[in-house]
Structure 1
Amino acid sequence: MKKIAAIILYGAFATLMVHCSPKASKAISELPVESKEQIVAQYSPQQLESGKTIFMSSCNKCHKLKEPGSRTPEQWNKVLKRMIPKARLSDEDGKLVRAYLIANSKTAIDK
C-alpha cells in the first residue's frame, strides 16, 4: 500500500512540475533573428528604453547583467528564448527586452 501511495505522490509531483515550469511562449520562441537595423526601424527610442528598464530590473534579480554588446543578435535570441520564460516576463515585456538587447548588440564585425 505504501508503494502505491508513493508512486501516486511522485506521479502527482512530476505532473505538477511539468505544468508549472516556465515555457517559452510561441510569440517569443518563434521570432526570427532580426538585425540591429530592423529592430531600430521597428521600435521607438521610448520602447527601447522601456526594454532597458525591464532588462535591468528583471534580469538583475537572478544574476549579474551582461552588457548588450557582449553578444550578437543571434546569441541574444538564443539566450532570451530560455531566459524570458524563467523571468516570467509577459510577451510584450520580453519583446521589449529582446529589442533593447539586439539594438545594442555587437555586430559580426565586432566579433
Structure 2
Amino acid sequence: MRYKLLALPVLALVLYSCASKSSIPTVEVPKEKVLSPELAEGKSLYENSCARCHQLYNAKDYSAEQWKPIVQRMQEKARLNDAQGLKIYNYLTMN
C-alpha cells in the first residue's frame, strides 16, 4: 500500500515534467514596412500596371542597375509616363 501512495506522486511529477510548458502556441507576425506616399504609389503602379501583362517579379530578384532597363522598357509597353516609371523604380529599389 505504501508503494502505491508513493508511486502516485512520483508518477504525477514525471508526467508534469514531461508535459509541454506552453499551452498557447506563439506565432511570429511579420512586420509590414511603412511606405512613404511616393513608394506606396509606386507599389500600386507596379502591382496594377505590370500585373496586367505578366507575373510580378520579386524586387530582390534584380539589383538597382538591372531594374533600370527593365522598368524603362516596361514603362513604354504599359504606357506610363516618366514620373510613374520613376516611382515604380524607386519602389523596386528601396531596399
Global fold match (TM > 0.5): yes
Distance in structure 2 (CA, Å) of the matches to 1:79 and 1:90: 15
> What letter is aligned with 1:73?
A
Q: Which has the higher helix share?
A: 1
What's the CA shift string for 1:61-81, capped at 9, x where partnerless? Answer: 000000111110011012112
The alignment of Structure 1 onto Structure 2 pairs a total of residues equal to 61
Structure whose alpha-carbon radius of gyration is higher:
2
- Kindly indicate whether the alpha-carbon contact (under 8 Å) linking 2:72 and 2:85 is maintained by their aligned counterparts in 1: no
The alignment-based identity, stated in percent, is 36
Distance in structure 2 (CA, Å) of the matches to 1:72 and 1:50: 21
* Structure 1 residue ranges without an equivalent (≥5): 1-43, 105-111
* 1:68 pairs with 2:84: no
CA RMSD of aligned residues (A): 1.3
Q: Which residue of 1 aligns with 2:40?
A: 49
- Structure with the bigger RCO (C-alpha within 8 Å, sep 6+) is 1
> What letter is aligned with 1:76?
W
* 1:78 pairs with 2:69: yes
Task: Tell me which of 43, 47, 50 is aligned to 1:59.
Answer: 50
TM norm structure 1: 0.52
The alpha carbon displacement at 1:99 in A equals 0.7
* Structure 2 residue ranges without an equivalent (≥5): 1-34
> What letter is aligned with 1:94?
G
TM norm structure 2: 0.60
Structure 1 segments (4+ residues) deviating >6 Å: none
